[in-house]
Amino acid sequence: MTSNAHIDLSKAVYVLNNAQHICILTGAGISAESGIPTFRDKQTGLWENFRAEDLANCDSFVRDPELVWSWYQWRRSEVKDKRPNPAHEALATWQAKAGQLGQTISLITQNVDDLHEQAGSQATHLHGELWQNHCSECGQTYEEAIDPAVTALVPCKSCGGKVRPSIVWFGEMLPQEPWQIAQQAAENCEVFISIGTSSMVYPAAGLAQSAKQNGATVIEINPHPTDNGLVDIQLPYPAGEILPELVAQLSQAKN
């Protein structure tokens, strides 16, 4: 780490030690070191000729439900053995000792994987959860687990409609309750930390903006810093490297 980086890390530790309410937004980048590709990474293998944006889309499901369903089943089979990395673990450690530090930490994620939960965190999912399903016609939750190996469409038990993953697709509204939790956390925090998100996907990207408007300091953890003019402290490193260090320093300063 260069000396500038040490200064930036110290600045981040300083503002965090003086904050009570912290809002953290994570995106696909936090799971990259666990081996789950981000949307910016080109797809490989079977799906290399498709763009994720064209599949995670409600129009595509209407046009070709088999294609979209089998892509999600493939993603599930790719994700099922993935485990949290030191970034997820550091956030879980921090959440666990937040009470002791006199802090509240709201963890909001755009990710659909369950790596925050596997690490022991509680996270608010803005874009749904990869392992859940519901009926595309009557909306009923499909409770039974579906094996990722099943590539054929699954019929709804009450109406026979096509079961779909409970993911928020491009062109769909965010679920109301998680969005309200996120907005409140962003408006009421003193420090907002954006981790591994390209900050391009609205409305989630607006959270940093409303935190900033309400006087929060914005910290970004991303090896490719985003150019949105909102960030006060840049930590341009992989999340799995910098977060354990950051969280370790917080506890040192408080104990």
Report the interface residues with Zn ion, using CB under 5 A: 135, 137-138, 156, 159, 161
By beta-carbon distance, which residue lies closest to ligand NAD? 29
Residue labelled with tokens 């912290």: 22
C-alpha pair distances (Å), 48 with each of 57, 59, 184, 225: 17, 20, 39, 27
Query: In terms of DSSP bridges, do strands 163-167 and 128-135 run parallel, antiparallel, or are they unpaired?
Result: antiparallel
- The three-point CA angle 200-237-218 to 5° equals 55
Task: Give whichever of 93 and 194 is closer to ligand NAD, judged by the CB atom.
Answer: 194
Residue 196 binds which of Zn ion, ligand NAD, none (CB < 5-8 A, kind-dependent)? ligand NAD
Residue 189 binds which of Zn ion, ligand NAD, none (CB < 5-8 A, kind-dependent)? none
Binding characters for ligand NAD, 98-137, by CB under 6 A (x = yes):
------------xxxx-------------x----------
Residues 131-190 that bind ligand NAD (CB under 6 A): none
Residue 42 binds which of ligand NAD, Zn ion, none (CB < 5-8 A, kind-dependent)? none
Q: Is the peptide bond before 203 cis (omega within 30 degrees of 0)?
A: yes
Q: In what order do the strands lie in the sheet with 128-135?
A: 141-142, 128-135, 163-167
Residues 186-215 that bind ligand NAD (CB under 6 A): 196-198, 201
Residue 47 binds which of Zn ion, ligand NAD, none (CB < 5-8 A, kind-dependent)? none
Residue 159 binds which of ligand NAD, Zn ion, none (CB < 5-8 A, kind-dependent)? Zn ion
Question: 5 with 237: CB under 8 angstroms?
Answer: yes
| Residue 229 burial (C-beta neighbours within 10 Å; 0-12, 13-18, 19+) | exposed
* Number of chain positions touching ligand NAD (CB under 6 A): 25
Binding characters for ligand NAD, 16-45, by CB under 6 A (x = yes):
-----------xxx-xxx--x-xxx-----
Please report, as a single letter, which amino acid is at residue 35.
G
Q: How far is the CB of 211 from ligand NAD (least distance, A)?
A: 16
Q: Which two tokens stand for residue 78?
A: 């790719």
Please report, as a single letter, which amino acid is at residue 14.
Y
Task: Give whichever of 101 and 113 is closer to ligand NAD, judged by the CB atom.
Answer: 113
Distance CA 65, CA 78 (A): 20
Please report, as a single letter, which amino acid is at residue 140.
Q
Task: Give whichever of 13 and 193 is closer to ligand NAD, judged by the CB atom.
Answer: 193
Q: How far is the CB of 99 from ligand NAD (least distance, A)?
A: 27
Task: Give whichever of 33 and 117 is closer to ligand NAD, judged by the CB atom.
Answer: 33
Does the annotation count 134 as an active-site position?
no
Please report, as a single letter, which amino acid is at residue 39.
F
C-alpha pair distances (Å), 81 with each of 54, 78, 98, 130, 173: 25, 7, 29, 13, 30
Distance CA 109, CA 201 (A): 12
Active site residues: 127
> Would you tell me which residues interact with ligand NAD (CB under 6 A)?
27-29, 31-33, 36, 38-40, 110-113, 127, 196-198, 201, 221-224, 238-239
